[in-house]
Amino acid sequence: MCPYHGLRFDGAGRCVHNPHPGGQLPDAQLRVYPLVERHALLWIWMGDPAKADPALIPDFSWLSDPKWEAVRGSTVAEGHYELYSDNILDLSHANFVHPALVAGAFTEGERKFWQDGENVFAEYIRLDDYLSVGISAVMGTEGSKQDFYGLVQWHAPAVLYFDFRAGNPGTPREQCTLLPSLHAFTPETLDTTHYFWATARDYKLGDAEFTAAMRGALEFAFEQEDMPIIRDSHRLMRGEDFWSLRPLILGGDGGGVRARRMLKRLIDREQQTEQEDADGNARQV
Ligand SMILES: [Fe+2]
């Protein structure tokens, strides 16, 4: 439905309802895009409709699974969407941007970055150390050392899953308490990004006060701490190409750099295929 004057359209883009006097249906045809509702999210495909493949949607089933209680939010953020992916893949920033999330895990822990197929991974492991103040409060582990396992998985173009686990020292990784998170970025313009985030837990279900505290802490971290610093980085770049600025690459950027290279390869490949399709069509004509 058009939010401005209330005309309604069906899934094929035809006008099916006109609430204005007379009610005649205008002969309007909207452009339509393949859209799938899955895991409590809407996944839109804005490329060649013939190439839309719902099997490519990553598994975020915890978002719609009643075993998990998720806090979630969305906002429009200033800055190019790739800067937002960089931010999630590089957790070392937590120690400088998020006073409540400072932890040895992010700068002194073991970290690894790799690629598997078209996915990029960033892993942070720190055994037998204190978690940050903020995370200890969410996990109820204040004052006790924990084993920490953090794994970020990037999916093109900018959908990230953060698998955050902690448990008493020696707990097998798969038995640690899991806090799964989604960070998904949809470009709005070259300078603005729709930021969708969610974090879930499988304990204290139905505890509204706990949920509100968790939401407040996450909203504050993403919207009051990450967003301003990414916005300012973006403004300083003044629309220039990222690599032409010869960025200083730090050890924590192994994930972000891989994701940027992968995305470029995928975009180049798509444009090449589109060009070949266009040439093929031209020959047939
Ligand atoms: Fe952050």
Structural domain contains residue 257: yes
Q: Does some domain include residue 28? A: no
Q: How far does residue 87's CA lie from ligand 1's centre (Å)?
A: 6
Q: How confident is the model at residue 132 (pLDDT cuts 50, 70, 90)?
A: very high
Contact 8, 15 (CB under 8 A): yes
Report the separation in Å between the CA atom of 121 and the middle of ligand 1, taken as the mean of its atom positions: 17
- 50 found inside a domain: no
Q: How much distance in Å is there from the Cα of 93 to the middle of ligand 1? A: 6
- Percentage with pLDDT > 70 across the chain: 100
Q: What are the residues whose beta carbons fall under 8 Å from the beta carbon of 101, sequence distance 6 or more?
A: 94, 95, 132, 133, 134, 135, 221
Query: Is the pLDDT at 278 greater than 90, yes or no?
Result: no
> Between these two residues, 64 and 28, which has the higher pLDDT value?
64
CA of 97 to the centre of ligand 1 (A): 7
d(CA 166, CA 177): 5
CATH number for 88: 3.90.380.10
pLDDT over 70 (residue 251) = yes
Q: How many A from CA of 86 to the centre of ligand 1?
A: 10
Structure confidence at residue 171 (pLDDT): 98
Within 8 A by CB and 6+ apart from 34, the residues are: 44, 45, 49, 52
Q: What's the gap in Å between 98 CA and the centre of ligand 1?
A: 7
281 alpha carbon – ligand 1 mean position (Å) = 46
Distance of CA 171 from the midpoint of ligand 1 (Å): 27
The answer to whether residue 26 is domain-embedded is no
The per-residue pLDDT for 280 is 85
pLDDT at 164 over 80: yes
Q: What is the pLDDT of residue 129?
A: 96
Q: What is the pLDDT of residue 285?
A: 61
Does residue 252 lie within any of the structural domains? yes
Cα of 14 vs centre of ligand 1, distance in Å, is 43
23 CA to centre of ligand 1 in angstroms: 50
Q: What is the pTM of this model?
A: 0.92
Q: Considering its fold, how many domains does the chain have in total?
A: 1
pLDDT of residue 104: 87
Q: Is 21 within a domain?
A: no
Residue 158 lies in a domain: yes
Spacing, Cα 219 to ligand 1 middle (Å)? 11
Q: Which domain holds residue 92?
A: 59-239+246-284
pLDDT value for 106: 87
Residue 205 lies in a domain: yes
Distance 66 CA to ligand 1 centre (A): 27
Of 36, 2, 47, 35, the C-alpha closest to 20 is 2
Phi, psi of 120 (to 5 degrees): -120, 140
